[in-house]
Structure 1
Amino acid sequence: MVETQIISIRYWASARSAAGADGETLAVDAPITLTEVLTRLSAAHPGGRLLTVLQACSVLLGDRPVSSEDPDDVLVPPGSTLEFLPPFAGG
């Protein structure tokens, strides 16, 4: 029997505003791609601007930046944390 686990999602700044929450979790049975994560998050927030905001974000998988990688190639294992950090103005 496959045990369901979670992927933790954390939103920052405008991503938090677009999601209406600081974060959420996704139930998974196995690793999924970052593309699938984005698809599931978009489906969970229909009609909003969340997907557009997330696509502009820097993404951390744990402490590893993955924004420059193809989201189809980024595997997100159960028990992981993904953080979405929108671009910040200023210095």
Structure 2
Amino acid sequence: MKKKKFTIKEAVEYFAANRKNIPVLVMRKGDYALEIKAEDYLYLVVEVNNPGVFLARLGPDLMRLKPLDEQQQSTARAFAHQRLTESGLL
């Protein structure tokens, strides 16, 4: 059975609906990876030092994503919300 492909719009809608509890991890460069579909390693990536927002598959064998504590995740979610609003996606 073919898996449904997510669009960036659907990922942003998922983030908006689950903003309070969506898991957030940090990438090596410090960018935030918001977990959209864990079983498919699908993340909404929000760049910290650039205005980029994109959807990516980040397999654990290629990307070493680091967990954040709850306070850091809350800060990251607020930053992601602001960035998505600025970009017109929210």
**When the two structures are superposed, what TM-score results if normalisation uses the length of structure 2?**
0.29
Structure that is richer in strand per residue: 1
Structure that is richer in helix per residue: 2
Q: Which of structures 1 and 2 has the larger relative contact order (alpha carbons within 8 angstroms, sep 6+)?
A: 1
**When the two structures are superposed, what TM-score results if normalisation uses the length of structure 1?**
0.29
